[in-house]
Amino acid sequence: MLDKAFDPASMESRLYAASEASGAFGAHPESNSQPFTVVIPPPNVTGSLHIGHALNNTLQDVLVRYRRMQGRDALWMPGMDHAGIATQMVVERLLGAQGKTRKELGREAFVDRIWEWKAESGGSITRQLRRLGASLDWPRERFTMDAGLSKAVIEVFVRLHKEGLIYRDTRLVNWDPVFQTAISDLEVESRETKGQIWTLRYPIEGEPGRFILVATTRPETMLGDTAVAVHPADPRFADLVGKKAVLPLTGRAIPIVADAYSDPEKGTGAVKITPAHDFNDYDVGRRHDLPMPTVLDAEARIWLGEIAGELRAVEGVSDPEFVRSLAGLDRFEARKQIVAELERLELFEKVEAHANTVPHGDRSGVPIEPRLTLQWYCDAATLAKPAIEAVETGKTEFVPKQWENTFFAWMRDIQPWCISRQLWWGHRIPAWYGPEGSLFVERDEETAKAAAKAQFGRDVELTRDEDVLDTWFSSGLWPFSTLGWPEQTPELAKYYPTDVLVTGFDIIFFWVARMMMFGIHIMGEVPFKHVVIHGLVRDEKGAKMSKSKGNVLDPLELIDAYGADAVRFTLTALASPGRDIKLAKARMEGYRAFATKLWNAARFCEMNGIAARPDFDPSAATTPLARWILDGANAAIAEATAALDAFRFDDYASAMYRFTWNSFCDWFVEFAKPVFYGPDGAEKEEVMGAAQHVLGVILRLLHPVMPFITEELWTHLGYGGEASLITTPWPEAVAVRDPTEARVELDGVVRLISEVRAVRAEVNVPPSITTKLLVQGAAPETLARANRWIDAIRRLARVTEIEVLDGAPPKGVVQSVLGEATLLLPLADVIDLGAERARLAKDRVKAEGEVAKVNAKLGNAEFIAKAKEEVIAENRERLANAQAEIARLDAAMARIAS
């Protein structure tokens, strides 16, 4: 016998272990079944399961379990990402706690240390995914740094390099001074900051006493200024263009150039140009062929290496000694000293508060520093074209579709992707440098050496590029590298392209776009057919969850408290397309109750001797109750299937909730009770058969979202052995004899019972009081039906017997209208006439409103002329019904009055 309450904690680990051990999570490349492939968005090896992962992986698991039950050869590929910066950060911090630095350790030892760390504490998330119930094919688990994937990375790099799609270039990059590496545009976030804007006086060369006022938010970079720019159409500066200004502090003469970049409305209309430390200035510098001296080092400290030779002393303007004293100073400290020096020199005009957006490194959180460096780039624009086309032509579809616009907007304006990182943890770039600036990009050192030998005619010394690749380079290969590429494995042949990618909108650019570009270019096919984008999980007030706000819901704690099934069901039910999820614990309590409800319904079945009966033939069922619930189950199957096919997780969940609770528990089980408690026989046999059949359908339909409880009940009630539900076929509609007739029958009884209940409740009749039900004016079939269902009506409507009323109604009846019939409950002793009168009056007001509304419509000639036939007919019927109801309510009130 099942326990009285469902206790998820006591069974989840056992059930998961059994499923995993059964091999049901595994794909079968050798089978002939149609594949269904999903690759997990690989969580960072440093990560632990947060609520966003819980949502993301629940949705994937729902899809995978659904398709697996449909007979597809499902492969859900697990794995983790090496997460370059994030992981290096974690291990560096650990070293720091021991008073060591990575530089002391040296590259090789440091990388070894990271591998050690990964072996000890990395990847705890995979255990947590198991707690969630994720049916990943674990033996296939991959890591972006493992040997196979590294091989794929090298292969792609070498190929793209040979095709000219990967190249080296000296450009301005976003430089993170904390990690001392270049980062891509995407890893930069703009932050509003309350800063200041300084107005400085640059003396005009050869015109003592004349100055040009320049406005800047970054005075510390002025050491690298190589021009002052004014707008070509700005009359204030027309005569200055072509002249030179003397750059304060350094004494260098710099040209005043006309360039439309300078906005006459902003600041003073003249801007200083520092090409090596500002993206806009860089463009100006290129247009005017300006020198581009770098004045900040990798840690964003003042560095004089490129300007030291040009320092000149100019009375009242510059002092090389001062500039030399700045060397090695942090940029913000240098700013203070430079401003102070300019004040001293009276070259400082004013400073004002200024709100500006400052680019910050998304990991380090400090302002990034544009720096002119030699880096590796990927020609993203070329790779983007076919990716855009694939979405335009529907080879890959985003769900919801509106995300395609986001994708297009970015892809159509994509910039060269800086793929080199000055880190130690990652895929080292397969490039070797030899004599005379020679470069060899090859799959390994040996090949590079051979190539060098071929070129130089002798063995030469080669040094490998120190840099590693952007983490997203290897993640971009995920859909095929995990399947064995570049080897032509059976897995690759069978499971690529994948079917669905489920992810959050925050990594459309980082990840989805890169997979599209690489997948199409390398494999010749899009990496996935559907991209399902879900929202962000927020707290119940809609705020982003964050540790600092303390509003984080830990999915593991939620699983402890409510069970994995309830957590999964909640996330699934709330996953409406295009919307963030506001998650409150109250929701989870509600869905835990749903799990309990299902448990108890199964328990009820069990107590009544219901067990799985594979020989039951639903198409042979004759009793209306059996046919009705079988028909309802058919509808539930259709709803659930359609919802899952359309990625409408919310619709799937609510359809299951409604059918299980409202149809099966509230009505079917209640109607079945008189049958179960009655004599044995064909009817009982059949209703029991229908009960076990429909419960089996419910368990199967719910399995994708609630794998634990369904598996437990499935086994317990004898539908199948341990861990068998997961591979049981998805239910299909069964033939049901004359379902319409069954619906008319049962829906009629439901309406009758509901009406009697409502009337009783409204005049405050306690359930302990039972009464006769008098029926007036009922059609013969209505009466016959009521009599057929007398047992259920007795139980559910607190009625003792049903009598036809021909003559005048007795005094003190409570009346109600149901279709053509009037229902009367003799409750003279119990009810309060005032309450009854009020009730009738209220119903009458409602009916009058209806009459007025419909009358107005039908009285409109244009409505009659232009509206659809069925709409007009429907309104005529509504009018007739409402008028009849008014007549009967009036009659009822007249009787009370008498």
Partner RNA sequence: GGGCGCGUAGCUCAGCGGUAGAGCACUGCCUUCACACGGCAGGGGCCACAGGUUCAAUCCCUGUCGCGCCCA
Torsion angles phi and psi, residue 42, rounded to 5: -65, 120
Measured in whole angstroms, the distance separating CA 803 from the mean position of its chain's CA atoms is: 59
* Contact set for RNA, span 670-729 (CB under 7 A): 670, 673
Stretch that binds RNA, among 246-254, 668-676, 735-743, 779-787 (CB under 7 A): 668-676
DSSP code string of 32-74:
-SPEEEEE--PPBTT----HHHHHHHHHHHHHHHHHHHTT-EE
How many CB atoms lie under 10 A from the CB of residue 614?
A: 10
Rounded CA gap, 467 and 424, in Å? Answer: 7
Q: Directed axis angle between helix 649-657 and helix 682-702, to 10°?
A: 150
Between residues 21 and 607, which has the closer beta carbon with respect to RNA?
Answer: 607
DSSP code string of 266-281:
STTSEEEE-GGG-HHH
549-552: which pairs have CB atoms within 8 A and are 24 or more residues apart? 552/50, 552/51
Of 109, 761, 841, 852, the one binding RNA by CB under 7 A: 761
Strand order, beta sheet including 439-441: 439-441, 431-433, 463-464
Taking CB under 7 A as the rule, which mask of x and - marks residues 375-414 in contact with RNA?
---------------------------x--xx--xx----
Torsion angles phi and psi, residue 655, rounded to 5: -60, -40
| Minimal distance, residue 60 CB to RNA, in Å | 20
Between residues 75 and 675, which has the closer beta carbon with respect to RNA?
Answer: 675
Between residues 584 and 733, which has the closer beta carbon with respect to RNA?
Answer: 584
* Contact set for RNA, span 283-302 (CB under 7 A): none
Taking CB under 7 A as the rule, which mask of x and - marks residues 789-818 in contact with RNA?
------------------------------
Cβ pair 254, 304 in contact under 8 A:
no
Q: What angle do CA 592, 594, 595 make, to 5 degrees?
A: 65
How many CB atoms lie under 10 A from the CB of residue 433?
A: 16
Stretch that binds RNA, among 203-211, 534-542, 736-744, 812-820 (CB under 7 A): 534-542
Between residues 461 and 832, which has the closer beta carbon with respect to RNA?
Answer: 832
| Minimal distance, residue 317 CB to RNA, in Å | 35
Cβ pair 763, 737 in contact under 8 A:
no
Between residues 4 and 162, which has the closer beta carbon with respect to RNA?
Answer: 4
| Minimal distance, residue 265 CB to RNA, in Å | 13
| Minimal distance, residue 80 CB to RNA, in Å | 25
* Contact set for RNA, span 421-460 (CB under 7 A): none
Of 596, 623, 771, 822, the one binding RNA by CB under 7 A: 596
Rounded CA gap, 61 and 133, in Å? Answer: 8
Stretch that binds RNA, among 86-94, 298-306, 760-768, 805-813 (CB under 7 A): 760-768
How many CB atoms lie under 10 A from the CB of residue 144?
A: 28
Per CB under 7 A, does 871 bind RNA? yes
Rounded CA gap, 177 and 541, in Å? Answer: 36
Of 113, 277, 494, 603, the one binding RNA by CB under 7 A: 603
| Minimal distance, residue 762 CB to RNA, in Å | 6
Nearest to 498 by CA among 153, 144, 76, 126: 76
- Structure tokens that stand for 811 in this block: 């005094």
Between residues 161 and 839, which has the closer beta carbon with respect to RNA?
Answer: 839
Between residues 147 and 861, which has the closer beta carbon with respect to RNA?
Answer: 861
Per CB under 7 A, does 787 bind RNA? no
Taking CB under 7 A as the rule, which mask of x and - marks residues 504-523 in contact with RNA?
-----x--------------
| Minimal distance, residue 639 CB to RNA, in Å | 12
Of 550, 679, 767, 780, the one binding RNA by CB under 7 A: 767
| Minimal distance, residue 384 CB to RNA, in Å | 15
Between residues 4 and 549, which has the closer beta carbon with respect to RNA?
Answer: 4
Between residues 211 and 505, which has the closer beta carbon with respect to RNA?
Answer: 505
Per CB under 7 A, does 10 bind RNA? no
Per CB under 7 A, does 642 bind RNA? no
Stretch that binds RNA, among 155-163, 493-501, 526-534, 667-675 (CB under 7 A): 667-675
Between residues 541 and 547, which has the closer beta carbon with respect to RNA?
Answer: 541
Stretch that binds RNA, among 609-617, 686-694, 862-870, 890-898 (CB under 7 A): 862-870
Nearest to 426 by CA among 145, 168, 103, 149: 145
Rounded CA gap, 274 and 281, in Å? Answer: 6
Of 85, 378, 595, 726, the one binding RNA by CB under 7 A: 595
| Minimal distance, residue 701 CB to RNA, in Å | 17
Can you say whether the dihedral through the CA atoms of 421, 425, 431, 437 is positive or negative? positive
| Minimal distance, residue 26 CB to RNA, in Å | 33
- Cα–Cα distances (Å) from 216 to 232, 267, 268, in that order, read 19, 8, 9
Rounded CA gap, 122 and 112, in Å? Answer: 14
Between residues 578 and 810, which has the closer beta carbon with respect to RNA?
Answer: 578
Of 241, 298, 507, 867, the one binding RNA by CB under 7 A: 867
Stretch that binds RNA, among 40-48, 209-217, 495-503, 648-656 (CB under 7 A): 648-656
Per CB under 7 A, does 328 bind RNA? no
- CB burial class (10 A; 0-12, 13-18, 19+) of residue 849? exposed
Per CB under 7 A, does 4 bind RNA? yes
Per CB under 7 A, does 657 bind RNA? yes
| Minimal distance, residue 586 CB to RNA, in Å | 4
Taking CB under 7 A as the rule, which mask of x and - marks residues 541-580 in contact with RNA?
xx-x-----------------------------x-xxxxx
Per CB under 7 A, does 762 bind RNA? yes
Per CB under 7 A, does 863 bind RNA? yes
| Ordered alpha helix ranges (H), 354-457 | 380-392, 403-411, 445-456
- Structure tokens that stand for 666 in this block: 């509230």
Per CB under 7 A, does 540 bind RNA? yes
Rounded CA gap, 682 and 677, in Å? Answer: 14
Rounded CA gap, 476 and 474, in Å? Answer: 5
Cα dihedral: 643, 649, 653, 659 (round 10): 0
Stretch that binds RNA, among 115-123, 486-494, 655-663, 686-694 (CB under 7 A): 655-663
Between residues 451 and 512, which has the closer beta carbon with respect to RNA?
Answer: 512
Of 148, 590, 718, 819, the one binding RNA by CB under 7 A: 590
| Minimal distance, residue 373 CB to RNA, in Å | 20
What element of type H or E holds 624? helix 624-645
Of 170, 193, 357, 622, the one binding RNA by CB under 7 A: 357
Per CB under 7 A, does 611 bind RNA? no
* Contact set for RNA, span 821-860 (CB under 7 A): 850, 860
- Structure tokens that stand for 851 in this block: 């009459």
- Structure tokens that stand for 248 in this block: 């304060």
Per CB under 7 A, does 661 bind RNA? yes
Per CB under 7 A, does 604 bind RNA? yes
Asked if the peptide bond before residue 614 counts as cis, ω within 30 degrees of 0, the response is no
* Contact set for RNA, span 165-194 (CB under 7 A): 185-186, 189-190
Cβ pair 522, 199 in contact under 8 A:
no
- Cα–Cα distances (Å) from 414 to 259, 384, 510, 658, in that order, read 25, 8, 12, 47
